[in-house]
Amino acid sequence: MVFSYAITLSSFLKLGEKFETTLENLNEMGISNLEMYGEPEEINSSYFKDIFSVHRMRITGITGMWGKSSRNGWKRRLLSKDPGLVKYSEDYVISCIKLCDYFGGDKINICLFSDPINLFDVTHSNVILDEKIKLIEKCVPVLNNLSSIARDHNIDLIIEPLNRYSTPYCCNLEDASILLNNCPQLQLMLDTFHMNIEEDSFSHTIMKAKDWLVHMHFADNNRKMPGEGHIDFRTIIIALKKISFTGFISFEPIISFINYQKKIKYGLDFIKNLDSKY
């Protein structure tokens, strides 16, 4: 079994590079599967669809833009106590579902953000477990509705746990399982960067998640391409093969320099070599 690979276009947004140039560079590296970034109100959909077609790029899904990743990300809070912000967040997800359908993708990731907590260190230790569970459970009807809408478009809505420095809610598989056990249509994505902070074991987490796991994000512990940090991707590849993972492995590095091709090609080859070896 050989895995399928993609890369997130959100990784390139801060480069200041022409979009056509980015696609040409990715084409030269043999990358033809992309995750489009989820900003339905800010992009010219028909332009992007045409340029993806010209460059023979397949859109696998939509990367939701949450928190600090977007100018409007601070308003996207599915765990907010403000009904207006929850409604805004629901509408955002629905617009991303429609965008995903338009581009022919079949996945969209969501992350759970709450209202700001006025504490110096907003991590697990400052969130009471019972309160955390209650807030997550409160989101179940919302996610059931959104995942049902997604399925109507033949799209999987997938929950992505983030590390504690992004949000103290839904940080690991244990948190996500509260939703996954109560939202039958909701699926799971794991991100190696966040797993490196939150999970005790890459392989054990992947094995536990096998019935829900449909997508992966790969980045090393420093948010660079795999092979440039200390994450043991060998154990991750082996675990994914053990569960017969058939989803995309999508690279999500932080790209902050123009001459990025060599680094991306190195990381891609690094993982492909592990893929072929195991």
How confident is the chain (278 residues) per 10-residue block, as mean pLDDT? 94 90 94 97 95 96 91 92 96 98 97 78 69 92 97 98 90 96 97 97 98 98 96 98 97 88 95 96
Structural domains in the chain? Answer: 4-277 (3.20.20.150)
In this prediction the pTM is: 0.94
How confident is the model at residue 124, as a pLDDT? 57
> What is the CB neighbour count within 10 angstroms for residue 129?
8
How confident is the model at residue 129, as a pLDDT? 83
How confident is the model at residue 131, as a pLDDT? 86
How confident is the model at residue 68, as a pLDDT? 84
Residues 182 and 140 sit within 8 Å (Cβ to Cβ): yes
Terminus-to-terminus CA distance in the chain, angstroms? 9
| Residues whose CB is less than 8 angstroms from the CB of residue 194 and which lie 6 or more positions away in sequence, other chains included | 160, 161, 162, 163, 166, 171
Question: What is the distance between the alpha carbons of residues 271 and 249, in angstroms, rounded to a whole number?
Answer: 10
Residues 191 and 217 sit within 8 Å (Cβ to Cβ): yes
| Residues whose CB is less than 8 angstroms from the CB of residue 117 and which lie 6 or more positions away in sequence, other chains included | 126, 127, 168
How confident is the model at residue 257, as a pLDDT? 76
How confident is the model at residue 170, as a pLDDT? 93
How confident is the model at residue 46, as a pLDDT? 96
Residues 187 and 153 sit within 8 Å (Cβ to Cβ): no
